[in-house]
Homo-oligomer: A and B are copies of this chain.
Amino acid sequence: MSEMKELYLDDLHVGQRFNSGSYVMKAARIREFAAEFDPQPFHLDEAAAEASVFKGLAASGGHAAPRYGGLSFANGIVGLGGEMAWPKPTRPGDTLHVESEIVEITPSRSKPQQGIVTVRSTMLNQSGEPVYLLTAKLLVLRRRDARSVPS
C-alpha cells in the first residue's frame, strides 16, 4: 500500500503524518468477509440490511478497519492494543483512505532496542466523513546501528 521506506523508531517523531492509498469497498467482498468472520444479516443481505439500524448494507467493522494506513515499520506493524470507534457505517462503493499521525513515542526503559509508538488513525470515505477511528499502540524497534553508536 505504501511506497515509503521502512521506518525504525529512530525515524519517527510526534506529529509525523502518514496517508494510505485508497481502497474501494465492494459489495461482494463485504458479503464474503462477513460470511467468514462476522455473519450478521446487515453485512450479508441487502433486504435485512435495509430493515436494520444501518438502513442498508454495511461492511463489518473488522473489514472496514484501516490496514495501518501508510505506515511501514522495519519490524512490521506489531499492535499491542488500542481504542476504536465506528462513527458511521461503511457502504458498498465507498472509497476509503486512512490518515495517521504519531501522537506519542515512549522508548522502553528496560529494552533499549524498542519503544511503543501511539498512532491515531482516521479512515475517511469519499465525502471526507470519518468511518473508523483507531488509536493504536505499536511496538517499534530501533535501528541496530543506532544502538551501537557510542554516546
Contact = CB atoms under 8 A, between A and B. Distances in A.
Interface in A9-56: 37-38, 40-42, 52-54
A44 B102 CA distance: 26
Contacts of A67: 37-38
Interface in A130-151: 133, 139, 141
A80 interface: yes
Contacts of A84: 81-84
A144 to B, nearest CB: 13
B75 A85 contact: no
A149 B67 CA distance: 46
Contact of A79 (B41, B61, B133, B141): B61
Interface of A: 37-38, 40-42, 52-54, 61-62, 65, 67-68, 75-86, 114, 133, 139, 141
